[in-house]
């Protein structure tokens, strides 16, 4: 495997950064997870825009223009002979001193990893995922805007561990009001009485690229889509529930906190959105060739 590292492609074993890099020391940096489908990089421009916004929000000057990032992402896929896969684009603050201040850091490190991925086995798309709410809360949006996709995912990691230890693959995270924020890596949707609901961004939800695409698809299918504060009760009593994310795509959720959602099997709307999403991924992609 070849890794893009600061303008060069190096072998996986040689992909190294300084132990003084503030991305390592403090989680000071931003990243994007991007999908490659049949030689098409899905919504690359949207991901690069979000990367720029995240970097601006944390006062990190990106060392490359958007077109240069796009070319580096596509070249990473070509170097590794990929037509389907997952791309992790990371920009750190760079090497600096042992202290919180970023003064003296730099230049920023740019890392691109293009590899194969399958987050969930196919049977979970057919039979549905079971999730559980956990004690660890989503960071308050007034402390760190959830739109910033930073390298510090510790609370999400803790939530994932808590779910795994009681036998679940995914955790439902609440905000400090007890409202639904998101799962550890996915946005949350429900269907109730013909309306598709998802938590608003100020509830602690990431401004997901797949989230936005699925909202558009649901409207194309004739459903009203509302961003509304949701509680666990809303998920327990929903007709359908599904999660969205770059790696997960669209996956049905059939149980929340040991309570069946609907009749306990993936619903027709979830199935339709999975099908429609998979049809459109190549249409909205950037061709490698």
| Element spanning 249, H or E | strand 249-256
3-state secondary structure of 215: helix
Q: Which of 2, 43, 130, 149 is catalytic?
A: 149
CB 265 within 8 A of CB 141: no
Q: Known catalytic residue: 149?
A: yes
- Could you tell me whether strands 224-227 and 195-198 are parallel, antiparallel, or unpaired per DSSP bridges? parallel
Which residue pairs, CB below 8 angstroms and at least 24 apart, start in 125-129?
125/251, 125/252, 125/266, 125/274, 126/266, 127/254, 127/265, 127/266, 128/251, 128/252, 128/253, 128/254, 128/255, 128/264, 128/265, 128/266, 129/169, 129/170, 129/243, 129/251, 129/252, 129/253, 129/254, 129/255
Give the C-alpha separation, 42 to 34, whole Å. Answer: 7
Handedness of CA 216, 230, 58, 85 (dihedral sign): negative
Positions marked active-site? 149
């Amino acid at each position: 495997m070849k890794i893009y590292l600061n303008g060069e492609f190096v072998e996986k074993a040689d992909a190294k950064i300084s132990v003084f890099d503030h991305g390592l020391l403090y989680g000071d940096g931003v990243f994007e997870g991007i999908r490659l489908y049949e030689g098409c990089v899905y919504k690359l421009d949207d991901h690069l825009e979000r990367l720029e916004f995240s970097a601006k929000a944390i006062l990190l000057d990106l060392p490359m223009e958007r077109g240069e990032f796009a070319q580096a992402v596509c070249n990473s896929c070509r170097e590794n002979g990929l037509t389907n896969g997952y791309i992790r684009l990371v920009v750190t603050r760079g090497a600096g001193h042992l202290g919180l201040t970023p003064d003296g850091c730099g230049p920023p490190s740019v890392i691109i990893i293009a590899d194969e991925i399958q987050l969930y086995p196919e049977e979970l798309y057919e039979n549905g995922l079971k999730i559980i709410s956990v004690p660890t809360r989503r960071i308050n949006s007034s402390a760190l805007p959830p739109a910033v996709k930073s390298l510090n995912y510790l609370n999400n990691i803790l939530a994932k561990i808590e779910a795994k230890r009681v036998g679940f693959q995914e955790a439902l995270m609440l905000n400090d009001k007890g409202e639904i924020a998101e799962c550890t890596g996915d946005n949350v949707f429900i269907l109730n009485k013909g309306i598709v609901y998802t938590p608003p961004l100020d509830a602690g939800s990431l401004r997901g690229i797949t989230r936005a695409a699925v909202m558009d698809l649901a409207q194309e299918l004739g459903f009203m889509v509302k961003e509304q504060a949701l509680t666990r009760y809303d998920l327990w009593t929903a007709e359908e529930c599904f999660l969205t994310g770059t790696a997960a795509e669209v996956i049905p959720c059939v149980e929340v906190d040991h309570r069946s959602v609907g009749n306990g099997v993936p619903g027709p709307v979830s199935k339709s959105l999975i099908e429609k999403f998979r049809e459109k991924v190549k249409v909205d992609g950037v061709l490698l060739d």
